[in-house]
Amino acid sequence: NASNAASRGAFIVMEGMDRAGKTTQVGKLRHTLEEQGHKVKTIRFPDRTTPMGTMIDGYLQSKTEMADHAIHLLFSANRWEKAAWIKEQISQGYMILCDRYYYSGMVYSAAKKNPALSLEWARTPDVGLPRPDRVIFLDLNAAEAEKRGGYGEEKYEKREMQENARELFLGLAGRGEESSDMVVIDAGHSVEQVASAIWDEVMKVVKAVETVPRRELSV
């Protein structure tokens, strides 16, 4: 109802490629929002601290093997573990800044090009999760990302996987709910320039949530 909508926080997701600056920008955005008097909490996926997160961490570090569908469902379950918490914080008026969410879930699994694991299949287990008020996709090509320190040792940190994932991310701009939720920001500029472009978007959302109720992801 309108009174709940008036006091709720916004749910803002930062998405992007490896090294695009998601963590850096979540930190800066938190600072700016807090300076303006907002209550803020941050969260990141995968959340490697939970039992499911521990299994995901083992997989990403190539310590364990898992079927593509099984690891996909674990990433989704890891979000479901936090769904009630996210709803609760938003209803208490907290701005939630989330470093990666179901967009990464869809895109990295589909980027494996397993014919039995389409983008649409990959989205299904996340239906019903809290829907973001805005998803900021920090766009950076693989060559630029590599200049920021080269890839590490984790499973998906390979040029081909990153390029497939980027193409799929950009394609989400034309897909259903994602097309209205996602905004693409060029992450190839200075930290300050990117932060300023993000703030322009977030300002609009902070205003909009005063009248728009929280929603869930639908099919």
Residues that bind ligand Z5A (CB under 6 A): 16, 18-24, 45-46, 60, 75, 100, 104-105, 108, 148-149, 156-157, 190-191, 194
Closest contact distance (angstroms) between CB of 133 and ligand Z5A is 18
Closest contact distance (angstroms) between CB of 58 and ligand Z5A is 13
d(CA 102, CA 98): 11
- Residue closer to ligand Z5A, measured from CB, 157 or 177: 157
Which 3 state secondary structure label does DSSP give 61?
coil
What are the helix and strand counts (H, E) for the chain?
10, 5
219 C-beta neighbours (distance < 10 Å), count: 9
Closest contact distance (angstroms) between CB of 21 and ligand Z5A is 3
d(CA 75, CA 58): 12
- Residue closer to ligand Z5A, measured from CB, 45 or 169: 45
Closest contact distance (angstroms) between CB of 64 and ligand Z5A is 15
- Residue closer to ligand Z5A, measured from CB, 40 or 56: 56
156 C-beta neighbours (distance < 10 Å), count: 15
Q: DSSP per residue over 73-137, as a string?
A: HHHHHHHHHHHHHHHHHHHTTPEEEEES-HHHHHHHHHTT--TT--HHHHHGGGTTSBPPSEEEE
Closest contact distance (angstroms) between CB of 104 and ligand Z5A is 4
d(CA 6, CA 4): 5
- Residue closer to ligand Z5A, measured from CB, 122 or 209: 122
- Residue closer to ligand Z5A, measured from CB, 89 or 164: 164
CA distances 142 to 145, 148, 183, 198, Å, are: 5, 10, 19, 21
Closest contact distance (angstroms) between CB of 15 and ligand Z5A is 9
- Residue closer to ligand Z5A, measured from CB, 9 or 105: 105
